[in-house]
Amino acid sequence: VSATEGEKSRLCKVVEDLEPGQSYSFQLRGLNQHGKGQPSEVVEVTTLCDVPPPPSQPVLVQESPFSLLVSWSAPERDNGSEVLEYCLQMRSSGLSEWRSASGRTKETQVLVQGCDPATIYDFRVRARNAEGWSEWSDESMMETLPPPAPDPPQWRIWHVTHNSATLCWMHAQLSVSSYEVQRLRGEQWVTLMEAENVVAEQLQRFQSELKESRLDDGSKDATNSDRRPPVIAFTKQCLQSNSEYVFRVAAKNDGGVSFSSPLRVYTEEVGWGRSLTDAELSKLRELCTVCEDPQCFEKLAGALFDSDSLWALSRSELSDLLERLAIRPRDRQRLKRALAPLPLPPSKPVRTQVTCNSIGCTWEPGAAEGQEPQSVVAYVVQWQARGGGERWEQMQCGACHGTITDLQESTEYVVRVAACSEPRGQGPWSAEGVFRTPPAVCDDAQLTGWTRAALRDRDYADRIAAQLYYDEWTLEALKPLSEARLFDTLTKMKVKEGAVYALMHQLKTVAA
């Protein structure tokens, strides 16, 4: 190939099929009918670097029901730039959307956890160097093993009446696909078909919750240690009174089936059985209006628990009962709140600060020995001038302290506090505290002169001077204070922000 450069002609040769990032040596020599000429000087040329070629196709090293150990080989060459990291992606076979299986890694082997048993996954991998990412490798299909047979279900608690038995067991294994309740008749176990839909509905609700509680090691049969496993329940109705029954539960998945230990229950005598009265049913139905599930009322009524019986239970006894009756977790919380006692009265309010037109108070939350702390959402503070009759002013506070403002000077006020909880509302009042506001009088002419010179509102200036005088401040004591300390002192007295700056400016003038 010839090329012209000015008046000279040059010969060019394009050398193809070179590898990126490699050094090559070139020499030229002439050739005619007399033979080869002398070679030119050696020229060293290095080609530009490029992204690496794709790694090898991923291969399966080891599988389990919940994990896959995936490996691949580095690209055959790095194209002049060292491979820095890899990205492995996966998807369930048949789906179009890929997701990261490992994040970015420098290793060529990754343990992919959190897989579903007996499921086929597609994998692909790519490499990156300083020039960028390679193309994706060829895809590979890998399949997890079937799950192991589940552990035998563990009985939790149960409840028996004269004609029914409520069976409860813990559901702590995500691999369980279904449960089967069986009853022993003679020497043969018979499946209770009426339990199928009831149990399946609870199982479906719990599956999503248990998936979120996997441990970091990827085990899907483990739940978070800080969380109690959910309980599945089924109530067998229409039993004979004063009779013995034997039940068991079968846990199933693709890996097999396991059975709980037989549970032997005895129904009560008819004499022990009773029904709730219409009045008890009415009160119970009103209590259960806080629940989303209409079966809450039926479950509590069937277990012969009226609202008064529920009120009498301790917190732990109530939790066990609602769990035993398979009340949904959200409805359990609502019932617990509805059955919570009224908040206890706080302690008698104590004065923290007083001015000629305000009183600051604090109090302690109500507490009873041996009882758990109550959840208080707010406090109601009421006050009236002593001897004011039935008329009370009030405000709400979110903490155990507050300041009552816009009061009259030289007046005694009665203050009381009540706690509010949700949904019970306001509890009983505390003991009453009696506080007196001081007169808005200042016998210190220097303080009065300073505040009046700084503020146009003479009455407001006199109030500030009176409060400073009441707190034993003098003008000479205020002069050496730093600006921050003076600002904090006036702000704590609830002086308006504009007045604070006016007073500070006037004090500088007086001090000068």
Q: b/e string for 137-159 if b means 16 or more Cβ within 10 A?
A: bebbebebbebbebebbebbbbb
Query: Could you read off the pLDDT of 38-55 as tens digits, one per residue?
Result: 888 888 888 888 888 999
Is the distance from CB of 40 to CB of 28 less than 8 angstroms? yes
Is the distance from CB of 281 to CB of 185 less than 8 angstroms? no
Going through 37-84 in order, the beta strands assigned E by DSSP cover 43-46, 59-63, 67-71
pLDDT of res. 219: 44
**Average pLDDT, stretch 296-325?**
80
Residue for token digits 């004609």? 163
For the question of whether the overall pTM of this predicted structure is more than 0.85, the answer is no
pLDDT at 218 over 50: no
pLDDT at 152 over 80: yes
Percent of the chain with pLDDT over 70: 91
Average confidence score pLDDT of the chain: 84
Q: What is the DSSP letter of 16?
A: -
End-to-end CA distance of the chain: 95
Question: Left, alpha or beta for 425 (phi > 0: left; psi -120 to 50: alpha)?
Answer: left
Whole-Å CA distances, 152 to 100, 184, 212: 35, 17, 23
Omega into 423 within 30° of 0, i.e. cis? Answer: yes
Residues in the chain: 512
Identify which has the larger pLDDT, 86 or 15. 86
**Average pLDDT, stretch 351-360?**
85
Query: Could you read off the pLDDT of 94-148 as tens digits, one per residue?
Result: 888 999 988 889 999 999 998 888 899 999 999 998 888 999 999 999 999 988 8
The whole-angstrom separation of Cα 101 and Cα 139 is 14
Going through 144-266 in order, the beta strands assigned E by DSSP cover 159-160, 165-170, 178-185, 188-191, 231-236, 244-253, 256-259, 263-266
pLDDT band at 227 (very low <50, low <70, confident <90, very high): low
pLDDT of res. 412: 92
Helix, strand, coil distribution of the chain in percent, nearest 5:
25, 30, 45
Question: Left, alpha or beta for 83 (phi > 0: left; psi -120 to 50: alpha)?
Answer: beta
The whole-angstrom separation of Cα 201 and Cα 299 is 16
Residue for token digits 């617990």? 336
